[in-house]
Structure 1
């Protein structure tokens, strides 16, 4: 059996490894001439690391990434801690580590693992324009007029998926009123204002920031989200200016302002929300990751949910009799879970940006108190997410 995957990002490469593990041949069609990621970090929570372990690449990810000591909420201007949860406790409770890794490093690990296991399974510099199918196979149409056929076609082609557009039609995403900044800075440039070895979310009025370390602690990753309605470009590769980023976080803690002062480049993108889809299967064609459930970044689960998708999809196809039954089982297994993560991210967007003294007190006060009297509360609240194991 053969799977054709449109898209060679993290979701597509991970899915290919999952298919290979469960006995399928794979061919990936990627538009870019070379596989690569714009510099940025991602967080891989225990539910994602369980898939990496099943694929036999968790060791490489741990070696390339950074294991934070804790996750933490702090006030953006003063730096006052609100809530701290030990990642060692996460690992003990959920059975896998919580790691930070550079997107490019994760992509390289997936690519190298795939090259070791599948000969010639990746075609780069080819643009998928749509799909077709009959009762025996599905195929991706390419811009040069050719096609690539297999038993199933997987659209892992991201937030602007052409596979989704053909399957479901044009969408109307809703602008959230938030714009995100991101930057990566060598820690040696930050001096005593370098971020702590924890994953920190910094809360402010109408904005928040996230900082954490990458590559064994050599790089600091910054993501900042600001409420504004004067810029609505969703591109991940559009650059902004240092002056604009500093203006958005003026008066904030020196950890934040020093990061922005020392960064060489700044990327920004507008955040759009999308409702859960009612379908992402059409015959022998299905969707995966951002193509079917793009997420706001406030749960740090976009990549991890795509990783879960790949394993569940491959498992369903390996276990079920018939493509229709397998893809239906995949949709049923993933739809409600990913919709719940989407909703949780939307809720966090509102929680992070309290503007009034009353809002801050009633939102952050109970967090601070709970952290003092019930330090395992984070484990309990995250058990549905981090404790999930799609490989079990």
Structure 2
């Protein structure tokens, strides 16, 4: 199998899938993204990426676009939950100077549009919900979709999230585990923020819960708010629901005035269960592999779920290139080995998130360069 005649299918058109497709195409591979949604819509909330991920965006030729559609916060302030006293203030642009790539916040819709611009026209097929796959003789993989259509590929990348159909087809699919916390999420327009003392990025740390609020573009016209707290999940499944505002505000009733007033102004709020998946191997079988939440979903306490998917995509392409695009199976094994230690450490850190609250060692997280770190032996 040579690079020139290798067709790679990517299931899932989210952060990891789009990043993988763009990097594959830049390396000379032919790939198609199969996305179950009938259309892309501007939904979701905010998301942030540290230098470990934004340096990959630079390598994709997206540096200017990234800084145009996102925000490099001027300052990030970590505050005590009750008094509001700042105890760890980070001059965020310093991260860019130290690590060679910036810390950037985005609206997920703007991020998705940016990544979409990096893939070639006609790369994506929408309305393609995967319902089955079959590994045939040689290297052919047959994909079957809910609409009755089929496709074939030489390599398959499952970037289809927590409830990955690809994962379920090649391994026994265990359901993701509830982390015991919910995230209340909302986006506020600038006009409702009058009178609040808010900087570009703000965090309030309680003993067992915390809240973040940050702007998502240079216009600073929308504020992303996320408040995480321990709660039982009392819904029939793990789909996000419309939040009970009284319940949300009561959960943070003892916090300082600024946060309480901020939550009082949140009128459209969704309640999300925090779900995880252990970072256990294997991720691959034959010419099929996984990336992102499909293989190692983690709590958002280090803000690295999206970043790890971006790193996965970059490492996967590096490993394919290491074998010249010709020997896929050992390349996918190398990808697993080269990612596992990094994913495990980040997954463990995400269980408590001392980064920002007390652990100021950022070198291992932000200083990691997936584009040049040595591959596993």
Distance 1:259 1:27 in 2: 43
Distance 2:131 2:149 in 1: 10
* Pair 1:383 & 2:360 matched: no
The answer for the alignment partner of 2:211 in structure 1 is 209
The answer for the alignment partner of 1:25 in structure 2 is 30
* Pair 1:142 & 2:142 matched: no
Flag the 1:54–1:28 CA change in 2: closer, same or farther, 3 A: same
Structure 2, unaligned runs of 5 or more: 1-5, 373-377
Flag the 1:234–1:78 CA change in 2: closer, same or farther, 3 A: farther
Distance 2:296 2:67 in 1: 27
Flag the 1:281–1:383 CA change in 2: closer, same or farther, 3 A: same
Flag the 1:332–1:37 CA change in 2: closer, same or farther, 3 A: farther
1:1-392 matches, within 5 Å, as 1-36=6-41, 38-114=43-119, 118-134=120-136, 135-198=138-201, 200-216=202-218, 217-231=220-234, 235=238, 237-320=240-323, 321-348=326-353, 367=358, 378=360, 381-392=361-372
Answer yes or no: is the 8 Å Cα contact 1:201–1:208 preserved in 2. yes
TM-score by length of 1: 0.87
Distance 2:332 2:342 in 1: 16
Distance 2:16 2:371 in 1: 16
Answer yes or no: is the 8 Å Cα contact 2:278–2:297 preserved in 1. no
TM-score by length of 2: 0.91
Q: Measure how far apart 1:245 and its partner are.
A: 1.8
Q: Measure how far apart 1:196 and its partner are.
A: 1.0
In the TM superposition, what whole-angstrom CA distance separates every residue of 1:101-154 from its partner, at most 9, and x where no partner exists?
11000001111222xxx2311011111012222322223221133322122001
In the TM superposition, what whole-angstrom CA distance separates every residue of 1:225-274 from its partner, at most 9, and x where no partner exists?
11122536674642213222222222422332233222341111122332
* Worse overlay, 144-153 or 278-287: 144-153
In the TM superposition, what whole-angstrom CA distance separates every residue of 1:277-314 from its partner, at most 9, and x where no partner exists?
22010101100101011010000000111011111112
Structure 1, unaligned runs of 5 or more: 353-362, 368-376
SS of 2:195's equivalent in the other structure is helix
Q: Measure how far apart 1:385 and its partner are.
A: 1.2
SS of 1:286's equivalent in the other structure is strand
SS of 2:58's equivalent in the other structure is helix
Distance 1:294 1:389 in 2: 21
Structure with higher helix content: 1
* Worse overlay, 233-242 or 300-309: 233-242
Q: CA RMSD in A?
A: 2.0
* Worse overlay, 71-80 or 293-302: 71-80
Aligned length: 363
Q: Measure how far apart 1:51 and its partner are.
A: 0.4
